């Protein structure tokens, strides 16, 4: 039996409520077949919330899987799924936002996305999507122009809700100064080892829903340590509750009023990652988690190639870390 997942209402009235756990649809390297099969397995397990981005090159297999699920009767219609995609830095220019969303929609074979996010508060000269980003290609971010174009995507009904990702309070302040339609969501790195208290408090006060990427500490790119899965505090709590470390982390995030976006392409883990709604952490667990030393994985500096220089922006202006 598929798990019934609670949902959170977003500030944009016509948006479908957001299911309280999402599936991350990003894997490097991967194949479209692997992604399509994983999304179908996720739909079977009960996932209805999917997170992709133009950068991930998984929009097409995600769209195919949702169409296939509709044909098979797993979904009554596309409306049952909540789909997020993101605007990459090279498209963060007022005249490129709408064409970029239209291209994402073509890839997804959809009429609209449920949520469209600015991927990073970083604008890069138009050109091919290259990662890591070249420092000298970074240009000042046009908050007014880019957000007005995001608002247009919403007005046209192509994005039911619009929001941002990796924005600090400083970036959101700049956006709010020019926004007519307020952002519904800020997607940031968050888990028990990077709790984002400042950003969360700020977003709560402004009615912005926070979603958590890398809720399990992230994928093991370059053999880096995983502070979540290797945490002795989480290991101890997991043992005491008879749950997995992944479930403890996801449950803690959910209890903070944040929506975790967890990536797994494995059937048994997809199921496990949804089984967090029929039990609770104790006050003692929460206290121990609140005392875990804090370490962020993704910084602005880590997004850029090691050589080259910034010529038109300063690194602190685009920094995505906030204590
Ligand atoms: N906005 C942004 O800038 C941004 C940045 C990063 C990520 N994201 C989004 O957030 C999603 C998730 O983030 P993420 O991929 O960095 O990290 P994550 O979800 O924290 O971790 C994914 C890793 O954990 C493993 N895993 C999943 N479930 C598990 C379980 N129950 N037990 C043990 N291991 C488990 C996965 O392996 P298997 O697949 O082998 O199970 C994978 O290696 C991405 O897919 C993407 O959609 C957004």
- Indicate the pairing of strand 259-262 with strand 82-87: unpaired
Which pLDDT value is given to residue 222? 64
Q: What is the phi/psi pair of residue 132, to 5°?
A: -70, 160
Which pLDDT value is given to residue 224? 76
Which pLDDT value is given to residue 234? 98
Distance of CA 161 from the midpoint of ligand 1 (Å): 23
265 is a catalytic site residue: no
pLDDT, one tens digit for every residue, the chain (323 residues): 678 899 999 987 788 999 999 999 999 888 999 999 999 999 999 999 999 999 999 999 999 999 999 999 999 999 999 999 999 999 999 999 999 999 999 999 999 999 999 999 999 999 998 888 999 999 999 999 999 999 999 999 999 999 999 999 999 999 999 999 999 999 999 999 999 999 999 999 999 999 999 999 998 766 678 999 999 999 999 999 999 999 999 999 999 999 999 999 999 999 999 999 999 999 999 999 999 999 988 899 889 998 999 999 999 999 999 98
> Measuring from atom 38 of ligand 1, which residue has the nearest CA?
264
CA distance 83 to 78: 9
Residues 6+ apart with CB under 8 A from 243: 251, 279
Which of the listed residues 234, 235, 262, 302 should we mutate to test ligand 1's pocket, taking the one with most ligand atoms within 8 A of CB? Answer: 262
93 labelled as ligand-binding? Answer: no
Distance of CA 24 from the midpoint of ligand 1 (Å): 6
Assess contact for 234 and 248: CB atoms under 8 A. Answer: yes
pTM: 0.98
Nearest to 260 by CA among 321, 294, 216, 226: 216
Domains (range + CATH), the chain: 19-303 (3.20.20.100)
Distance of CA 120 from the midpoint of ligand 1 (Å): 18
Nearest to 140 by CA among 174, 190, 97: 174
Set 28, 56, 112, 202: catalytic member: 56
Which pLDDT value is given to residue 220? 74
Which pLDDT value is given to residue 14? 80
């Amino acid at each position: 039996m598929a798990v019934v997942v609670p949902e959170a209402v977003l500030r944009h009235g016509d948006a479908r409520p957001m299911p309280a756990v999402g599936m991350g649809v990003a894997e490097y390297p991967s194949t479209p077949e692997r992604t399509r099969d994983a999304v179908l397995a996720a739909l079977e397990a009960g996932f209805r919330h999917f997170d992709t981005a133009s950068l991930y090159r998984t929009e097409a297999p995600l769209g195919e899987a949702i169409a296939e699920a509709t044909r098979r009767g797993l979904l009554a219609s596309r409306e049952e799924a909540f789909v997020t995609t993101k605007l990459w830095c090279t498209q963060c220019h007022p005249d490129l936002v709408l064409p970029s969303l239209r291209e994402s929609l073509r890839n997804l074979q959809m009429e609209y996305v449920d949520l469209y996010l600015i991927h990073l508060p970083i604008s890069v000269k138009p050109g091919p999507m290259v990662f890591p980003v070249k420092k000298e290609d970074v240009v000042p971010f046009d908050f007014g122009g880019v957000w007005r174009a995001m608002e247009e995507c919403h007005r046209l009904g192509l994005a039911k809700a619009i929001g941002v990702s990796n924005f600090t309070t400083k970036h959101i302040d700049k956006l709010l100064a020019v926004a007519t339609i307020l952002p519904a969501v800020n997607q940031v790195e968050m888990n028990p080892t990077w709790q984002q208290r400042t950003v969360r408090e700020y977003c709560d006060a402004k009615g912005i829903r926070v979603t958590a990427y890398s809720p399990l500490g992230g994928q093991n790119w370059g053999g880096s340590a995983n502070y979540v899965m290797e945490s002795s505090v989480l290991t101890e709590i997991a043992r005491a509750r008879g749950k997995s470390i992944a479930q403890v982390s996801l449950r803690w995030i959910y209890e903070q009023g944040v929506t975790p976006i967890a990536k797994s392409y494995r059937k048994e883990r997809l199921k496990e990652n949804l089984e967090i709604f029929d039990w609770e952490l104790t006050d003692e667990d929460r206290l121990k988690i609140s005392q875990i030393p804090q370490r962020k994985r993704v910084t602005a500096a880590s997004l850029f190639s090691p050589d080259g220089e910034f010529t038109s922006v300063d690194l602190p202006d685009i920094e995505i870390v906030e204590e």
